[in-house]
């Protein structure tokens, strides 16, 4: 048998190929749900990069060389690897008792007053050893991979001092070695205002004068993520952080309107953030007023469920206004949602989205939020060979499969990393 690269692969006879072809910008409006399906489709990957996409007969005519590893996808759906654009995987401690208290009727404020909330995770994370933190991240990455994720955004934000935030970013960098998933690192110094600083302006100064310059100088993160939320950081403080980030040349993301209408969406758009995430309490009037925006709305349905929110983000209003929408899990110390595939399934009924709208939100649009649209998020020639095989003949089945193990195979850079092909010798 000829010597073939371990990252050469043919996937053939897909019942449906979900291509989500990249047209040079994130999907919005009527295009949000277009999956560009192809029956009996195939993908040829050479040296980890997609070399051909099309009908199986056409692809095999050009790339049917002997000796290339091949997966027969008869009866199955083949789609781009999922791109998770919002996660907080580096933390220690356990907060399931808080969730039980919340379900019994306690408010977020009552939980925080009794020593719970994000601050509890910050204290546990500061006191944890590197080994403990990396072992916990490794388990999360493994579970996240089993939810179909091939690219993962990972945030700091459980340190909240210069020393602890920079250390978290170094650990996230080191954690690349423990997963086949490609990581994109965000600095989230302005996650909450820590009670040991307590003054939002003073803490904003710390982020801007001490943390951010070190992060940028050391190229420790690709994104600066900030929270715009009543009781945490004000629109004026967030605007300062977005402006300073632009001056320093680091792109921004915003945690916005998760617990109350806080002008987070308007502030993120005005400040040129790549995306604004949560948006649960963004009023319809604000969405209409802002209109079509280049800032991508990242919606987190499991966060809304777990926070016991009394409303949901207005996905339809964003789509109708011409705002690109992405879907993510918000995996964190308080939300143990690891499966983006199941989150996509859940997002459809939760928001009244079509399956295609949710799938595009977790592939191409999510890739745009991470500046990775040039090489992933769709099955286009020239992009990375990152794809999934699902045990379902049509991608719409994803949304009926909450909790069902539909994921058969995960391929990253042309290499099967999960599933039957991954356990076969090359
Ligand atoms: Zn978050």
Domain holding 386: CATH number? 2.30.40.10
For residues 353 and 385, state if they share a domain.
no
**Model confidence at 4: pLDDT above 70:** no
How far is ligand 1, taken at its centre, from the CA of residue 312, in Å? Answer: 16
- Residue 104, domain extent: 83-369
Quick one: angle between helices 130-145 and 162-174, nearest 10?
A: 50
**Across-strand partners of 43?**
11, 53
Dihedrals phi, psi of 416, to nearest 5 degrees: -65, 125
Residue 67: per-residue pLDDT: 87
**Model confidence at 253: pLDDT above 80:** yes
How far is ligand 1, taken at its centre, from the CA of residue 3, in Å? Answer: 45
How far is ligand 1, taken at its centre, from the CA of residue 111, in Å? Answer: 18
Mean predicted confidence (pLDDT) in 158-163: 95
Give the tens place of pLDDT for each residue, 66-83.
789 999 999 999 999 999
How far is ligand 1, taken at its centre, from the CA of residue 228, in Å? Answer: 12
pLDDT bracket for residue 2 (50, 70, 90): very low
Residue 108: per-residue pLDDT: 84
For residues 100 and 55, state if they share a domain.
no
Counted domains in the chain: 2
Domain assignment present for residue 1? The answer is no
- The pairing of strands 407-412 and 387-390 is antiparallel
Q: Name the pTM for this structure.
A: 0.97
How far is ligand 1, taken at its centre, from the CA of residue 310, in Å? Answer: 19
* Nearest CA-CA partner of 315 in 331, 329, 332, 296: 296
For residues 52 and 89, state if they share a domain.
no
**Across-strand partners of 412?**
415
pLDDT bracket for residue 116 (50, 70, 90): confident
> Cβ-count burial of 406 within 10 angstroms (0-12 exposed, 13-18 middle, 19+ buried)?
buried
* Candidate from 53-67, 70-84, 348-362 with smallest mean pLDDT: 53-67
CA angle 418, 419, 422 (to 5 degrees): 70
Give buried/exposed letters for 161-180 (b at 16+ CB in 10 A, else e). bbebbbbbbebbbebeeebe
Residue 3: per-residue pLDDT: 53
Mean predicted confidence (pLDDT) in 360-381: 98
pLDDT bracket for residue 165 (50, 70, 90): very high
**Model confidence at 232: pLDDT above 50:** yes
Residue 424: per-residue pLDDT: 78
- The pairing of strands 49-55 and 37-46 is antiparallel
Question: Of 326, 353, 369, which one is at a domain's C-terminal end?
Answer: 369
How far is ligand 1, taken at its centre, from the CA of residue 252, in Å? Answer: 14
Which two three-digit tokens encode residue 235? Answer: 């629109």
For residues 302 and 209, state if they share a domain.
yes
For residues 358 and 413, state if they share a domain.
no
| Contact call for residues 329 and 338 (beta carbons, < 8 A) | yes
């Amino acid at each position: 048998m000829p010597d073939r690269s371990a990252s050469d692969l043919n996937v053939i006879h897909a019942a449906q190929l979900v291509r989500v072809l990249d047209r040079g910008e994130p999907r919005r409006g009527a295009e949000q749900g277009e999956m560009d399906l192809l029956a009996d489709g195939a993908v040829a990957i050479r040296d980890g990069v997609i070399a051909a996409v099309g009908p199986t007969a056409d692809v095999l005519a050009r790339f049917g060389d002997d000796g290339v590893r091949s997966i027969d996808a008869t009866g199955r759906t083949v789609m781009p690897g999922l791109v998770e654009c919002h996660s907080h995987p580096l933390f220690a401690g356990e907060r399931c008792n808080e969730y039980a208290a919340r379900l019994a009727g306690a408010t977020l404020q009552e939980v925080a007053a009794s020593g719970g909330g994000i601050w509890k995770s910050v204290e546990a994370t500061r006191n944890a050893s590197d080994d403990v933190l990396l072992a916990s991240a490794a388990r999360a990455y493994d579970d996240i991979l089993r939810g179909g994720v091939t690219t993962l955004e990972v945030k700091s934000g459980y340190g909240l001092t210069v020393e602890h935030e920079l250390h978290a970013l170094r650990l996230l960098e080191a954690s690349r070695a423990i997963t086949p998933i490609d990581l994109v690192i965000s600095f989230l110094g302005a996650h909450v205002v820590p009670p040991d600083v307590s003054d939002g302006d003073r803490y904003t100064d710390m982020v801007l004068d001490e943390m951010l310059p070190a992060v940028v100088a050391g190229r420790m993160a690709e994104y600066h993520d900030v929270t715009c939320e009543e009781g945490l950081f004000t629109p004026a403080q967030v605007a300062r952080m977005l402006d300073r980030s632009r001056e320093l040349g680091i792109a921004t993301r915003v945690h916005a309107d998760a617990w109350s209408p806080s002008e987070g969406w308007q502030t993120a758009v005005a400040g040129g953030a790549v995306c604004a995430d949560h948006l649960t309490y963004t009023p319809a009037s604000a969405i209409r007023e802002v209109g079509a925006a280049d800032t991508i709305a990242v919606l987190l349905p499991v966060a809304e469920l777990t926070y016991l929110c009394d409303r949901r983000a207005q996905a339809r209003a964003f789509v109708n206004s011409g705002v690109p929408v992405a879907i993510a899990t918000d995996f964190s110390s308080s939300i143990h949602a690891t499966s983006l595939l199941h989150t996509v399934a859940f997002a459809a009924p939760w928001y009244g989205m079509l399956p295609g709208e949710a799938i595009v939100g977790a592939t191409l649009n999510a890739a745009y939020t991470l500046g990775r649209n040039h090489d992933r998020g769709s099955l286009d020639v020239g992009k990375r060979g990152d794809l999934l095989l699902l045990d379902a003949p049509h991608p719409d089945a994803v949304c009926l499969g909450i909790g069902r193990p539909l994921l058969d195979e995960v391929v990253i850079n042309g290499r099967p990393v999960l599933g039957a092909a991954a356990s076969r010798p090359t």
